[in-house]
Amino acid sequence: MDLDFIKDTNLRGRVEHSIKYIFVLNEDVRNNQSRIFVAETNRVIVLYTISIIEALLHEAYDSIPEHITATEYKDVSLLKKDYIHKKYQSEEVVIAVRTLVEKSTRTISFSDLLDFFETRMLKTATVIRLRKLNDLRNSFHLRKGGVVNCTITHVEEALQLLDLTLTKIPKFIK
């Protein structure tokens, strides 16, 4: 697998290592009969795979001049208390300047990347699949009480989407 399109050599090394790790785990899980081991290993594979896809999408994003923006409000001024909004009568009313600013890479979420690339590189059906898998990943948080059993079907979907991403991004970057 050629990952030369990833310019950051440290990132390329981490992605290569993570992909190898995923395939080792996938082999190990097929040879284990413990249901808890299988379910937990499947979760780790899905977590790693979505994290790799997210890193690859960031790499593609960094390669183009377009940017994801966010709305910010600047020079916010509070109006006098005697101005009362019809709908929000108990709230304070302000005047502000609304601007669009480039989001810093650190604040760009996986969802932001999917929105951004849906019209540029990814088909809507692929974005839907990625969102479902990301929702699964997010359900693994212990406090959220999400999915307990992550199946081989989830793993296969994650690996198919990783393969698709690895195919699309080099063509997009060129």
Domains and CATH numbers, the chain: 9-68+119-173 (1.20.120), 69-101 (no CATH)
Nearest of 157, 118, 159, 149 to residue 40 by alpha carbon? 149
Q: What global pTM score does this model have? A: 0.84
Per-residue pLDDT tens over the stretch 111-121: 999 999 998 99
SS3 category, 100: strand
Give kind and range of the element (H or E) at residue 111. helix 110-118
How many angstroms from the chain centroid is the CA of residue 105? 12
Nearest of 98, 114, 14 to residue 58 by alpha carbon? 114
Query: Among 9-18, 33-42, 102-111, 126-135, which is the least confidently predicted range?
Result: 33-42
Under 8 Å CB-to-CB from 9, ≥6 apart: which residues?
A: none
Per-residue pLDDT tens over the stretch 82-131: 888 999 999 999 999 999 999 999 999 999 999 999 989 999 999 999 99
Q: For the residues 126-152, what does the mean pLDDT come to?
A: 81
